[in-house]
Amino acid sequence: MKSYRKELWFDVPSRTAFINITGLVQECLEASGIRDGLALINAMHITASVFINDDERGLHQDYQRWLEELVPHEPISRYLHNRTGEDNGDAHLKRQIMGREVVVAVTEGRLDFGPWEQIFYGEFDGRRRKRVLVKIIGE
Ligand code: ZN
């Protein structure tokens, strides 16, 4: 069995963003030489997510509004977590909603997606360098 590991780095200038990382993961898969197996892609930070859905602008705006309605950034005093002196209590909860990782089947050397599926990095407390781990195993 082959194994491949790579960290993808992101430095998002805004507090929140959704970035399509499908092409970067495909490059990892090509570099791995793996034709059949599994790809795990996970955020390595507790205020960021990796998830799969459609690459559609309206949907991303809907996520932003929905998440902000559920867990607004302000007032920051709303979150007990922020008593630590941080202001990212909402970002921890948004990450919990949007998830930590995805696993994608690898078949005949390609990511075996359903229709319209794309992989996204979701940032909820940006303006600093953060990582995504790509781990691919197979043959
Ligand atoms: Zn925090």
Pairwise CA distance, residues 10 & 129, whole Å: 6
What pLDDT score does 111 carry?
Answer: 98
| Structural domains counted in the chain | 1
pLDDT, one tens digit per residue, over 15-53 is 999 999 999 999 999 999 999 999 999 999 999 999 999
What pLDDT score does 49 carry?
Answer: 98
**How many angstroms is it from 103 CA to the middle of ligand 1?**
26
Q: Is the pTM of this model over 0.85?
A: yes
**How many angstroms is it from 72 CA to the middle of ligand 1?**
15
What pLDDT score does 40 carry?
Answer: 99
What pLDDT score does 122 carry?
Answer: 98
Domain that holds residue 48: 2-138
- Tally of CB atoms within 10 A around 102: 17
Pairwise CA distance, residues 87 & 104, whole Å: 33
What pLDDT score does 69 carry?
Answer: 98
What pLDDT score does 60 carry?
Answer: 95
**How many angstroms is it from 123 CA to the middle of ligand 1?**
13
- Residues of the chain predicted below pLDDT 70: none
CATH number reported for the structural domain that contains residue 60 in this entry: 2.60.120.460
Q: Where are the beta strands (DSSP E) in 24-117?
A: 37-43, 48-53, 101-107, 110-111
What pLDDT score does 98 carry?
Answer: 98
What pLDDT score does 3 carry?
Answer: 98
**How many angstroms is it from 49 CA to the middle of ligand 1?**
14
**How many angstroms is it from 41 CA to the middle of ligand 1?**
22
